[in-house]
Amino acid sequence: MMAAIDHLPFIVGSYAAAFVVIAALVAWVTIDFRAQRRALADLEMHGLTRRSAGGPAQRSIEGAKEKA
Amino acid sequence: MALGDLANPSRFLAFANRAIPWLGGLTVIVFAFGLNQAMLAPNDYQQGATVKIMYLHVPSAWLSMMAWAVMTVAALGTLVWRHPLADVAAKAAAPIGGAFALLCLITGSLWGRPEWGTYWVWDARLTSELVLFLLYLGVVALWRTVEDPARAARAAAILTLVGAIDLPIIKFSVDWWNTLHQGASFGLEGSTIYPTILFPLLIMAAAFMLLFATLQLAAMRNEILRRRVRTLRLMRARTAS
Amino acid sequence: MTPLGALLIRDMRISVRVGGGALIGVLFFLVVVALMPFAIGPNLLLLKRIGPAILWLAALLASLLALDRLFAADHDDGSLDLLLMGRAPLELVVATKALAHWLTTGLPLVIAAPVIGLLLNLDAADDAALVLTLLVGTPALTFIGMVGAAIAVALRRGGLLLAVLVLPLTVPVLIFGVAAAQSAFAGAAPFGTAFTILCALTLASLVVGPFAAAAALRQEIE
C-alpha cells in the first residue's frame, strides 16, 4: 500500500516545469530547423547555391552572374 | 573521422545530421532509466518525498554552469583562432544554458516552498544562480542586438570571458553575503548523500548532459543553416541590384 | 607631454566644459537619494539603517548612466579611430580614458557623498566609512562598466543594453562595498575584511577591464 506522498503538488509541479522547459527547447530547435531548411530550399529553387556547394559548372554560372 | 574535419561547417553538418538521431534516442533511453530510478529511490528521512525534486534541480544547476564553460571555450576559439564554428557553438549554447538556469530556479523555488515555507529565499546557491540567469539573458540580448554574426560573435566572446572571470567571484561574494546576513546556512542538499540517492542523481545528470549535447548539436546545425540562408539572401540582393 | 597625459587632460577638459556633462552624474546621484525617503518614509532610524545601501545603489546607477558616453562621443567625432591607430598601446589608452572619466564623474560622487549622507542621518564614523568605500569601489564600477561601454560602441548600440550587460557583473563590488560601509552596525562584518576584498576587486578590475575593453574596440578597425 502506498502512503500518501507529502507535498505532491510541488514534486509534480517541478517535473511538469522540467517537461515544459525541455519541450520548449526541443520545439524551438525543431521549428527553427524546419524554417531554415525551407528557406534554403526556397532559395535553391530560385537558382541560388553556395559557391563551395556547387560543382565547377555551378561556379561558372555564378561567375557569369557576378559579371553581369 | 578526425576531429579536425569537424571544423569544416559542411562536414560538421553531415556529422550533426548523422549524430542527432542517435544522441536523441540515447537521451530518451537514459532519461527513461533515470526517471525510473528516481521514482524508485527512497525518500530522505528529513525532507521526505520532496528530495525527488533534487533529481531535476541539481543536474540543471550543473548544466547551467557547464553551458557557460562551453561558451568560454568557444569564446577563446572565436577570439584566438577566429573560427566561425566557435561563433556558432557560442551562440547555440547561450539560450540552452539560460533555459537550464531558469529550470534550476523554478525547481529550486518549488523545492523551497515545502522546506522553507516560501517560494524564494535569498539562499546563496539560488542567488548566484539568479545572477547567472541574468548574465545568460544579457548574452542572448547581445546576440539579438546585432545583425552581423561575426561582429556579434566577438562582442559576445568578450562578454563571455569577462563573465567567466567574474562568475567565481560572484559565487564567492554571494556566499559571503549570505553568511553575513543569516548565520546558519539554509543549504538545500543534505550533508551526506546516500548511494541510493546518488545513483539516480548521476543517471539523471548523464541524461541531462546527453540532452544538452543533442540540443547543442541541433542548435548549431540550425545556426549554420541560418548563416547560409543569410549569405544567399545577401548574394541575391547583390545580383538583383 | 606624453600622449597618455595629453589624452587624460583632453578627456577631463571635454567632460567639464559645456556639453560635457560631468556634473550631471552628481546631480542624478542627489536626485535619486532625495527621492528615496518619499518611497520608504522619513523614518530616520530606517534611513540610517539603509543609508549606505541607498548611496551605493545611487552611485552604481549614476556611474553606469555616465559611462554611456565614454567611447560613444569619440566614436561619433572620429577621434576613436585616431586613438586606435595611434602608437600608444590601446589598453593603456582606454585605461587613461577610464581614469579621466572616473576623475570627472566618480570622484565628484565621492566628494558629494558625505553631504548627502547627512540627509540620511549618517553620523561621522558611518560617513567616513562610506566615503572610503566609495573612493575605493567606484573605480571598479568604472573599469567594469568600461567593458560594456566598449562593446556597446563597437556594436553601435547603447543605453539599456549597456546596463543589462554590466549590472550583473557588478554584484561583488556592490556586496562588499555596502558590507564595508555598513560595518558600523551591530552584527555586521568587520570593516577590514570587506574593505580589503573591495580593494582586491578594484585592483582586479583595473587589470581585466582595459584588456577586455581594448579587445572589444579593436573590432572597430576590422
- Residue ranges covered by each domain of chain B: 55-182+194-240
Cα–Cα distance for residue pair B85/B234, rounded to 1 Å: 20
Of the candidates A31, A10, C219, the residue with the CA atom closest to the CA atom of residue B50: A10
Residue B11, chain C, CB below 8 Å: the answer is no
Q: What percent of chain C has pLDDT over 90?
A: 25
Our CA-based measurement puts residue C188 at a distance from the nearest CA of chain B, in whole angstroms, of 7
B141 in C contact zone (CB under 8 Å): yes
Instruction: Give the closest residue to C183 by CA, choosing from C133, C120, C112, C109.
Output: C133
Q: What is the pLDDT of residue B23?
A: 93
**Interatomic CA distance for residues C8 and C2, integer angstroms:** 10
Give B224 to chain A, closest Cα distance, Å. Answer: 9
pLDDT digits (tens, 9 = 90+) for A18-63: 999 999 999 999 999 999 999 988 888 877 666 554 444 444 444 4
Measured between beta carbons, which residues in chain C are less than 8 angstroms from residue B177?
175, 179
CB contact under 8 A, B154 and C168: no
Q: Do chains B and A touch (3 or more CB pairs under 8 A)?
A: yes
Residue B46 has pLDDT above 80, yes or no: no
B107 → chain A, closest CA residue: A14
Cα dist from B165 to A29, B88, B172, C13, C143, whole Å: 30, 22, 12, 34, 14
Number of domains in chain C: 1
Chains near A (3 or more Cβ pairs under 8 Å): B
- Name the residue of chain A whose CA is nearest to B17's CA: A33
H helix or E strand, kind and range, residue C82: helix C79-85
- pLDDT at residue A61, rounded to an integer: 42
Which of B40-49, B64-73, B224-233 has the lowest average pLDDT? B40-49
Q: Note whether A66 contacts B107, CB cutoff 8 Å.
A: no
Boundaries of domain holding C48: 3-221
Assigned C-alpha cell, C91: 589598453
Which residue, A17, A3, A7, is CA-closest to B115? A7
Q: Which stretch of B126-130, C9-13, C41-45, C156-160 has the lowest confidence by average pLDDT?
A: C156-160
Amino acid at A39: A
Distances (CA, A) of C90 to B135, B165, C4, C87: 27, 21, 10, 8
User: Whole-model pTM?
Assistant: 0.87
Instruction: Return the partners of chain B (3 or more C-beta pairs < 8 Å).
Output: A, C
Residue from C122, C143, C141 nearest C52 by CA: C122
The residue-averaged pLDDT of C209-219 equals 89
Quick: pLDDT tens for C54-112.
899 999 988 888 887 788 888 888 888 888 888 888 899 999 999 999 998 889 899 99
Instruction: Give the minimum alpha-carbon distance from A20 to chain B in angstroms, rounded to a whole number.
Output: 9
Beta bridge partners of B44: B48
* pLDDT at B190 > cutoff 70: no
Q: Are B70 and B93 in contact (CB under 8 A)?
A: yes
User: In B117-148, which ranges are continuous DSSP H helix?
Assistant: 124-145
Q: Determine the pLDDT at residue B62.
A: 92
Of B52, B103, B232, the CB nearest to A50: B232
Residue of B nearest to A16 (CA): B107
Q: Is B162 on the interface with C (CB under 8 A)?
A: yes
**Rounded distance, CA B108 to CA B111, Å?**
5
Q: Cell for C108?
A: 565628484
